[in-house]
Amino acid sequence: MTENTPSIVVVGSVNLDIVVPVPHHPRPGETVLGSDHFSNPGGKGANQAVAAARLGQRVAMVGCVGDDDAGADLRASLEVEGVDADRVVALGGVPTGIALISVDQEGENTIIVSPGANTRVDAEAVEGAQDLLASAKVTLLQLEIPVETVAAAAGAACGMVVLNPAPGRPLDHDLLAQVDVLVPNLGELAMLSGDEVPGAGLDAAEALASTIQGPGAVVVTLGSQGALVVAGGDSVHILGAEVRAVDTTAAGDSFCGALADGLVRGLELEAAARWAVKAAALTVTRQGAQPSLPTRAEVEGLTT
């Protein structure tokens, strides 16, 4: 691996986030007046790429945007963050993906994604990134692009494969068997295991995680409660850091980017997850997606 070869390759989504702070999330048929909206770069794939880059990793992004102002701005934003965006293709005739996000007074969010160009991230995009996937230590994947593309990227990866199965959906065993570390939240874990309603508490999380066949390990994100690492028949609960949550947007993405960073640096999975819990905790103390992602110095400085 040369000095400039990316250590992490992210195959995933690139979105423009439009965020509205609200007093509470609307019920069906209800109109809620929010505060002034703002926009910032987002998309689970791009967020995770920036998260890892801010922690000091060399990162390449593979994805699609529209041939529009938003797409140009998002590619430029990735490059400013030090992410190699050469494999982020601008497509004519389709819009760049957007996410409509409401954030309530407790910092909890609801998100509607209009994927746009993200639905066009296909096998051809994976083929165009074969060199990157062959040399990267970690390939980081999510589900805001077609599942078939995720499977192709996992199959082409020669390093460790980390899959964040979000948005949640059932996945077949062939894909899961190619995953080294699966990183769901409780809701996504329940969907993967066939439960309609996620269980509450550590026991429920551990029981559900043990039913997932295929991945080498499962790391369940638990929000303010930290994370649960389940591997080799053992489980370890990592406590969350005590912080004041302002906006939970991108907390999971921050966790995944930091987890990948730790794995690239040779940390054992439990240690990498502890590092990721700290990064995610810092993320919820700030508004927005990518603007909230911490640097290595900030994570190192957080005491838990």
Give per-residue pLDDT as tens, 129-149.
Answer: 999 999 999 999 999 999 999
Position 75 pLDDT exceeds 90: yes
Mean pLDDT across the stretch 269-281? Answer: 98
pLDDT at 197: 59
For 124-127, the CB contacts below 8 A with 24+ separation are: 125/11, 125/62, 125/63, 125/64, 125/87, 125/89, 125/149, 126/11, 126/62, 126/152, 126/153, 126/156
For residues 126 and 150, is the Cβ–Cβ distance under 8 A? Answer: no
CA angle 167, 172, 177 (to 5 degrees): 100
Choose the weakest-confidence range: 11-15, 82-86, 88-92, 196-200.
196-200
For residues 286 and 246, is the Cβ–Cβ distance under 8 A? Answer: yes
Separation between Cα atoms, residue 161 and residue 165, nearest integer Å: 12
Residue from 17, 68, 84, 253 carrying the catalytic annotation:
253
Would residue 203 show up in a list of annotated catalytic residues for this protein?
no
Band of the pLDDT at 304, cuts 50, 70, 90?
A: low
Is 210 or 119 the better-scoring residue by pLDDT? Answer: 119
CATH of domain 8-24+37-296: 3.40.1190.20
All structural domains of the chain with their residue ranges:
8-24+37-296
pLDDT at 107: 84
Is 111 or 30 the better-scoring residue by pLDDT? Answer: 30
Instruction: Work out whether strand 227-231 and strand 234-238 pair parallel, antiparallel, or are unpaired.
Output: antiparallel
Separation between Cα atoms, residue 185 and residue 187, nearest integer Å: 6
266 SS3 class: coil
The strand order across the sheet containing 181-182 reads 84-91, 59-66, 8-11, 138-141, 160-163, 181-182, 217-221, 227-231, 234-238
Separation between Cα atoms, residue 117 and residue 63, nearest integer Å: 9
| Burial of 156 per CB tally in 10 Å (0-12, 13-18, 19+) | buried
Sequence-distant (≥ 6) Cβ neighbours of residue 247 within 8 angstroms? 103, 107, 109, 284, 286, 287, 288, 292
Band of the pLDDT at 80, cuts 50, 70, 90?
A: very high
Mean pLDDT across the stretch 96-118? Answer: 92
Position 219 pLDDT exceeds 80: yes
CA dist list (Å): 125 to 118, 129, 149, 244, 247 = 11, 6, 8, 40, 33
Mean pLDDT across the stretch 227-231? Answer: 96
Band of the pLDDT at 200, cuts 50, 70, 90?
A: low
